[in-house]
Chains A and B, each alone.
Chain A
Amino acid sequence: MNRSFNKSQPLRNPNCNAVEVKSKYGAEFRRFSVDRVKPGKFEEFYKLILHIHRIANMEVMIGYADVHGDLLPINNDDNFVKAVSTAHPLLRIFIQRQEEIDYTNFASNTITRKKKPVVALRNDVNRKRPHIRIGMPQDFRPVSSIIDVDILPESHRRVRLYRHGSDKPLGFYIRDGVSVRVTSHGLEKVPGIFISRLVPGGLAESTGLLAVNDEVLEVNGIEVTGKSLDQVTDMMIANSHNLIVTVKPVNQRNNVVRSSRISGSSGQSSDSNGSTGHMYVNIGGMPPSGAHGYQDDLESDEDNDVVIEKNIKRPSQRSNASLASSASRTQHQNPTTTSGSAAPPSPPTRPLSVVSTASFHSQQSLNGGSHHHQHSSLSYQFHKDLNLQHNPHQHNPALRHSNGSLHKILSSLKTDPRNSLALPRGGVEEDGTVITL
């Protein structure tokens, strides 16, 4: 028996495409409807909500109760569409002010306790399950995905491991082995590369998409046949920032079945939710960046070389008085440096969040423009989309020690460059003014 049938008789027009929305903000309820077929954009919906509740100047978080009674966030087009399409019959919306969000509420069975005893049976089941917490969307990032399901044979699986930003090691080993191929002469034994071990707690193991004795067929689109174990190892390591392995799983029972897609949301390996066969293991937040070819990603991902440029006044420029003085101050602050070259800037009183290239033309503005920093003759410029995780307390001390600074900077850069907050691009000029906070 459909539980909602009892409760929601108020369907006035069953043929209507409208979905009834019951929106709750604090103690206030608002009721309105959206089109089930064309719900529109999340952006519009968000504005509508603010308008209806008359809370226009507030940052809010919108959540909804899904069919299982879980409180899930709506924060992009996809989960909005999902929310509307699964609303049966009523879409229950919960609004929280951004600063008041109680993240603990977002969990798998958060709303069920509010449910009526009708769902007692379900509750029984729930009681046996451990209480799973679902973090906020911004905490999510893809760790792995099955891709190209539509173009690969069903017996193969192409797994993409997103290592960036993860502290987890890739965590697997490969070995030589013998594979059996079907050729024109019948079955033939050929050398192959196999996964020999998964490190417990490693990325490969945690995805559940790779297993011991899976045969490795391709690495980032390049076949491994005819390549030695060392070559394949080197290829994998060279691609480790964005590793795509095509395997022939030793266990063929979990294969993606293309003809009849199973819909589910628990992120198991048999899952598939995109028309292209892309699968995000993590449900929720991450807006799927689309059915991009992984090559593009790969390219962009890799140019993240860190360049630290330290602008030095050329000897010939020393006549510039203001420069000379600032230079001498720098020297003065670091009397201990042996070579006089690697003079680190004096420690800022408060950590810098953003630093940029300072050209010597603009250095006069250094002191005037800064609120609570001394200027530094060292300026760090981070190229392209290499972004620092905004954790200045963590990485800035590293910046201060210019001796061996890169090691430290980079170890602090391990977090995902893509999904963390970006440097405010507008404020960073290539060779110009200094940005201070």
Chain B
Amino acid sequence: MKRFRRHGQESQRDRLKQELFAFNKTVEHGFPHQPSALGYSPSLKLLAIGTRSGAIKLYGAPGVEFMGLHDENAAVTQVHFMPHQVELVTLLDDNSLHMWTLRGHNGLSELLEIGRFTLTGPPGAPPSVTRVTAVLAHSSGELLLLGTEGGHVFVVEVPGFRELEERNISLDQIASSVPDDYIGRRNLEHVEALQENPVDPDQVIIGYGRGLMVIWDLEKKLAIQHIPATQQLESVCWTEDGKYILSSHSDGSYCRWMVGGQDTNEEEKSDIPYGHFPCKAISKIVQLPTEEGPPFLLFSGGMPRASYGDRHCITVIHGKKHVALDFTSRIIDFFVIRDGPEHTEPSALVVLVEEELVVIDLQTEGWPIIQTPYLVPLHSSAITCSHHVSTIPLKLWERIFAAGKHQNAHYSKKPWPVTGGQNLAPDPPQRDLLLTGHEDGTVRFWDASGVCLYPMYKLSTAGVFHTDADPNDNMNQGTEGEWPPFRKVGCFDPYSDDPRLGIQKIHLCKYSGYLTVAGTAGQILMLELNDEAAEQTVEAKVVDLLQGQEGFRWKGHTQLDIQEDPVMFPAGFQPFAVVQCQPPAVVTALTLHSEWKLIAFGTSHGFGLYDYQQKNSVLIKCTLNPSDQLAMEGPLSRVKSIKKSLRQSFRRIRRSRVSLRKQHQLQEANARLEAELAEMELAPVQRKIEARSSDDSFTGLVRTLYFADTFLSDSSHNTPSLWAGTNGGCVFAYMLRLPSVEHRADEPVTAQLSKEIQLMHRAPVVGIVVLDGHGAPLPEPLEVAHDLARAPDMQGSHHLLVVSEEQFKVFTLPKVSAKMKLKLTAVDGSRVRRVGMAWFGSSRTEDYGESGLLVLTNQGDVHVVSLPHVKMQVHYPCIRREDVSGIASCVFTKHGQGIETPAHTFLPLFYWGSKYILFRIQHQQYRCVSKNAAKHVMEHALLNDESEYKGRRIS
């Protein structure tokens, strides 16, 4: 079938497509994955973080972020800013050095790589000769000293990376001057540390792995002093006045050495701070003077090996104050920011640990933590779901903000100390919230309006239930007299005490302030915002979703026990009703209609409708397939099945032993079993090709729930309705009858089954939307009432859009018959993972826009599908196919009605792994690497936020 195209029209449409659906990745939020190096420039007031994947990120004042990526896919091991310059040098795992600079461009700055360099040793030399182990960026800003594994120090002129061979400090030169009585003189080992004398830039100290330190004069090219430490060296620090050198060692000791003329220097002071028993190495030591009073001594590590060897600690000693800051994960590096008139007063300790960045205020009593405006670990407890709400009304915003303020009392009042750069972004045009649900039962509210993701408020649902977890075991000060004097810092806490508390679904109504969250053990909480702390008794309603289906026994976890006594809830969102599904399976779908005061929820067994005004259940529907056995196994079933299979194989062996009497027969059987196993192991990865059938497992799992006011029974009267889609490609539609407003509190709400649609291809239904007479999706509840959306067209005929994992299908209403469809999987083999509605406005004409469907596939591509004709418009590769968790965590947001928004038209989509990326589809190229990458985030909403419930028939 050939279509004759009118060329003019086609190209016009193409242009429009390009204009409407341009795609850009814009902002990355959250904590970088696998950080591996930290650097700081006191002059620029910028900090730099290198990652294992070769990325380099610079952060300054909130909103100032730069990002660069090395071409090599090697870990960044060291980052050094050139003193008083705008350049920085990175050392990679592959022994290459890279120079980056910040270059002004149209009033903005960009991070650019301007040079790369790899040391070349003499011909024939082993690679260890040039393997860089220590880097010193000389204060002149022109020299780079590179200590190597072979023990040489190479001097390189920068920028340009010109090797100054005549200034190199070879191992031979050093070795010849080492005192004869030094035991380690035969092998000094690699260069462990290079430090410059703060008062004499010509003097550097070279610390060798074996322990020997040599003060070298760069000008005179001779060793001034030898410091014969005998322990393996870990780090060296030259005190501010240049009079002392501190060295830390692998046995957990540190020594202070006087810098003087005599060559035979005895250590002036030596200490093993956590001594007596063997200690771990002190990997870095810093001593900083204060204007008045004792100096600060900071070092990482040094803990007693046996009892606290697994702690990640930085010890801060200031006069009589001595605290061992106990971090949540491995320490990458730390530095101290100094301010005051001379920039000498230590003000804040910045620590990069593997999972978060922690800043400690050293000037306020008690050394409180300064809340970080960026690099916040979204994943401090594993994220289990997310929900994005945009254009939050100011009132609600302020109330949430106020509730969050109460919680942040323990933070330092000091402003963020890293202040480099200037945020040129205009204020975000609107307020957006990102809600993340976590494994520990908390819901975190993030300000996602601007370029930074700022924590606003944290809600904990654990208080509603009886759990073994002690609610306040975190963030406690160490008990009095404990040694070492630990203090826990940081919020990364990946260990959940009770996985049943995990939050699986969130729905917030921004107009009414009602919030509903649902969890792993089938619990659904209704919460409302209360500005005061209040004592509440939470009413629980148990809902039996099995509805008398027989032959099933739930093998998963038990349901959570509700606290029966009144519970004191702090200001913020407070629960007022709880529904508990029975069996207590994971809640897989949840939706809230605040105008009708109803919530709908679904699990793998069925779905229910709950009236939260009258606090009773309206409808329960079991969707369980009678032949589905897997649905009854809890989340731990996989473990069980392995156990089971093991058991079976043992039984098989035993049986064969019993039945076969003769020894050789037994051997034969064993050999056969082994061969069987070997075959199983060696068999290539193969996939079964089988059509889905009604007998498949988890077909009854409810994937999506949707409320709509539409024409369900006849085309002249619209009624409230509830739609549910299952994993087995089935859609149920219920007609709801709501009592009039004045009788809402006493007359019952009823629901009647009106339609059942079984998609023949049986793919999981991941989205249901009703389109109005104009083909636009119906507005959210209360949206029209608040004058924020155009009332839907109730004159024309409505359509039902059913999105399955494999195709998009439009049906007519009220009589359901297929009208249009778009097949995805049958054509290119990708499957729908996420779907969202979005509004695409034009950049040139304010009033033109289209509704579209945003689709993220399992291949990581984002497709835009037009509505209501379900035609593929554009697609962009967005997330790597292998990044399964990234794809699973993607959240689409929708551009709102464009009130007071600039003419940018784009559509953001979020995605989080351990980090958080904002992608945006917009009409014009946007430079991300600007000094200020902030942009305007538009109205967002989530059509669907389904987690990975793979109903796939593979295997």
Q: Which A residues contact B (CB, under 8 angstroms)?
A: 163, 169-177, 196-197, 204, 219-220, 222, 227-241, 243, 302-312, 314-316, 338-342, 383, 402-407, 409-411, 414, 430-431
Query: When A and B form their complex, which 5 residue pairs have the shortest distance between CB atoms, in order from nearest?
Result: A231-B829, A240-B691, A238-B825, A341-B752, A233-B687
A181–B889 alpha-carbon span in the complex (Å): 39
Asked if B674 CB lies within 8 Å of chain A CBs, one says: no
CB neighbors of A among B376-433 (8 A): none
Asked if B713 CB lies within 8 Å of chain A CBs, one says: yes
Say how far B22's CB is from chain A's closest CB, in angstroms: 26
Say how far A293's CB is from chain B's closest CB, in angstroms: 9
A170–B549 alpha-carbon span in the complex (Å): 31
Asked if B626 CB lies within 8 Å of chain A CBs, one says: yes
Chain B hits for A230, CB < 8 A: 687, 829, 858, 954
Query: A174-B687, A233-B689 provided; 6 other pairs, C-beta below 8 A?
Result: A233-B829, A306-B756, A340-B752, A341-B752, A342-B621, A403-B622
Say how far B235's CB is from chain A's closest CB, in angstroms: 48
What are 13 A-B contacts defined by CB distance under 8 Å?
Answer: A303-B818, A305-B759, A305-B818, A306-B756, A307-B758, A309-B754, A312-B735, A340-B752, A383-B818, A404-B623, A404-B626, A406-B756, A409-B758
A310 and B755 contacting across the interface, CB-CB below 8 Å: yes
Which of B688, B714, B763 has its CB near the most chain A CB atoms (within 10 A)? B688
Asked if B924 CB lies within 8 Å of chain A CBs, one says: no
Which residue of chain B has the shortest Cβ distance to A359 in the bound complex? B714
Chain B hits for A316, CB < 8 A: 717
Chain B hits for A172, CB < 8 A: 688-689
Chain A hits for B815, CB < 8 A: 309, 430-431
A312 and B754 contacting across the interface, CB-CB below 8 Å: yes
Chain B hits for A430, CB < 8 A: 815
Residue in contact with A404 in the complex, picked from B625, B693, B759, CB distance below 8 Å: B625
A307 and B756 contacting across the interface, CB-CB below 8 Å: yes
Which residue of chain A has the shortest Cβ distance to B763 in the bound complex? A238
B688 and A173 contacting across the interface, CB-CB below 8 Å: yes
A219–B825 alpha-carbon span in the complex (Å): 11
Chain B hits for A234, CB < 8 A: 806, 825, 829-831, 952
A235 and B759 contacting across the interface, CB-CB below 8 Å: no
Residue in contact with A239 in the complex, picked from B547, B622, B826, CB distance below 8 Å: B826
Known contacts A341-B619, A402-B753; decide if A241 and B829 are in contact (CB<8 Å): no
Asked if B143 CB lies within 8 Å of chain A CBs, one says: no
Asked if B757 CB lies within 8 Å of chain A CBs, one says: yes
B756 and A407 contacting across the interface, CB-CB below 8 Å: no
Say how far A234's CB is from chain B's closest CB, in angstroms: 5
Chain B hits for A229, CB < 8 A: 685, 687
Asked if B461 CB lies within 8 Å of chain A CBs, one says: no
Asked if B25 CB lies within 8 Å of chain A CBs, one says: no
Chain B hits for A314, CB < 8 A: 713-714, 717, 719, 735
Which of B619, B690, B952 has its CB near the most chain A CB atoms (within 10 A)? B690
Chain B hits for A220, CB < 8 A: 826
The proximity string for B residues 685-709 relative to A, scoring 1 for CB distances below 8 Å and 0 otherwise, is 1111111111100010000000000
Asked if B750 CB lies within 8 Å of chain A CBs, one says: yes
Which of A220, A237, A308 has its CB near the most chain B CB atoms (within 10 A)? A237
A312 and B826 contacting across the interface, CB-CB below 8 Å: no
Say how far B877's CB is from chain A's closest CB, in angstroms: 13
A169–B826 alpha-carbon span in the complex (Å): 19
Known contacts A231-B828, A410-B694; decide if A241 and B761 are in contact (CB<8 Å): yes
Q: Which B residues contact A (CB, under 8 angstroms)?
A: 547, 549, 618-627, 684-695, 699, 713-714, 717, 719, 728, 730, 734-735, 737, 750-761, 763, 806-807, 809, 815-818, 821, 823, 825-831, 858-859, 881, 952-954
A410 and B690 contacting across the interface, CB-CB below 8 Å: no
A175 and B685 contacting across the interface, CB-CB below 8 Å: yes
B687 and A339 contacting across the interface, CB-CB below 8 Å: no
A222 and B547 contacting across the interface, CB-CB below 8 Å: no
Say how far A407's CB is from chain B's closest CB, in angstroms: 5
A-B contact count (CB 8 A): 187
Say how far A8's CB is from chain B's closest CB, in angstroms: 52
Which of A171, A229, A309, A338 has its CB near the most chain B CB atoms (within 10 A)? A309
Residue in contact with B689 in the complex, picked from A173, A228, A403, A431, CB distance below 8 Å: A173
B755 and A339 contacting across the interface, CB-CB below 8 Å: no
B684 and A237 contacting across the interface, CB-CB below 8 Å: no
Q: Interface SS of chain A: helix, strand, loop or mixed?
A: mixed
B760 and A303 contacting across the interface, CB-CB below 8 Å: yes
Chain B hits for A233, CB < 8 A: 687-689, 829, 954
B690 and A240 contacting across the interface, CB-CB below 8 Å: yes
Chain A hits for B881, CB < 8 A: 228
A176 and B685 contacting across the interface, CB-CB below 8 Å: yes
A240–B692 alpha-carbon span in the complex (Å): 8
A240 and B625 contacting across the interface, CB-CB below 8 Å: no
A56–B817 alpha-carbon span in the complex (Å): 44
A311 and B713 contacting across the interface, CB-CB below 8 Å: yes
A231 and B830 contacting across the interface, CB-CB below 8 Å: yes
B757 and A237 contacting across the interface, CB-CB below 8 Å: no
A293–B758 alpha-carbon span in the complex (Å): 27
A228–B857 alpha-carbon span in the complex (Å): 14
Say how far B380's CB is from chain A's closest CB, in angstroms: 33
A176 and B684 contacting across the interface, CB-CB below 8 Å: yes
A414–B691 alpha-carbon span in the complex (Å): 12
Which of B621, B686, B752, B829 has its CB near the most chain A CB atoms (within 10 A)? B829
Which residue of chain A has the shortest Cβ distance to B817 in the bound complex? A383
Say how far A294's CB is from chain B's closest CB, in angstroms: 12
B618 and A339 contacting across the interface, CB-CB below 8 Å: yes
Say how far B953's CB is from chain A's closest CB, in angstroms: 6
Residue in contact with B690 in the complex, picked from A237, A309, A409, A411, CB distance below 8 Å: A237
Which residue of chain A has the shortest Cβ distance to B618 in the bound complex? A339
Say how far A335's CB is from chain B's closest CB, in angstroms: 15
A237 and B626 contacting across the interface, CB-CB below 8 Å: no
Say how far A107's CB is from chain B's closest CB, in angstroms: 33
A175 and B622 contacting across the interface, CB-CB below 8 Å: no
A310 and B754 contacting across the interface, CB-CB below 8 Å: yes
Say how far B117's CB is from chain A's closest CB, in angstroms: 37
Residue in contact with A309 in the complex, picked from B625, B728, B755, CB distance below 8 Å: B755
A339 and B830 contacting across the interface, CB-CB below 8 Å: no
B756 and A171 contacting across the interface, CB-CB below 8 Å: no
A345–B635 alpha-carbon span in the complex (Å): 37
A174–B683 alpha-carbon span in the complex (Å): 12
Chain A hits for B618, CB < 8 A: 339
Say how far B881's CB is from chain A's closest CB, in angstroms: 8
B755 and A237 contacting across the interface, CB-CB below 8 Å: no
B859 and A231 contacting across the interface, CB-CB below 8 Å: yes
Residue in contact with A163 in the complex, picked from B691, B737, B953, CB distance below 8 Å: B691
B830 and A403 contacting across the interface, CB-CB below 8 Å: no
Chain B hits for A235, CB < 8 A: 825-829
Which residue of chain B has the shortest Cβ distance to A221 in the bound complex? B827
A197 and B686 contacting across the interface, CB-CB below 8 Å: yes
B761 and A169 contacting across the interface, CB-CB below 8 Å: no
Say how far A423's CB is from chain B's closest CB, in angstroms: 16
A407–B728 alpha-carbon span in the complex (Å): 9
Which residue of chain B has the shortest Cβ distance to A236 in the bound complex? B689
Say how far B761's CB is from chain A's closest CB, in angstroms: 7
A234–B826 alpha-carbon span in the complex (Å): 7
Residue in contact with B816 in the complex, picked from A196, A309, A311, CB distance below 8 Å: A309
Known contacts A220-B826, A306-B758; decide if A411 and B689 are in contact (CB<8 Å): no
A307–B729 alpha-carbon span in the complex (Å): 12
A231–B857 alpha-carbon span in the complex (Å): 11
Chain A hits for B750, CB < 8 A: 339-341
A304–B759 alpha-carbon span in the complex (Å): 8
B620 and A302 contacting across the interface, CB-CB below 8 Å: no
B689 and A240 contacting across the interface, CB-CB below 8 Å: yes
A307 and B816 contacting across the interface, CB-CB below 8 Å: yes
B687 and A307 contacting across the interface, CB-CB below 8 Å: no
Known contacts A236-B689, A316-B717, A342-B753; decide if A411 and B694 are in contact (CB<8 Å): yes
Known contacts A234-B830, A234-B831, A238-B825; decide if A173 and B752 are in contact (CB<8 Å): no
A174 and B690 contacting across the interface, CB-CB below 8 Å: no
Chain B hits for A239, CB < 8 A: 826
A405 and B756 contacting across the interface, CB-CB below 8 Å: yes
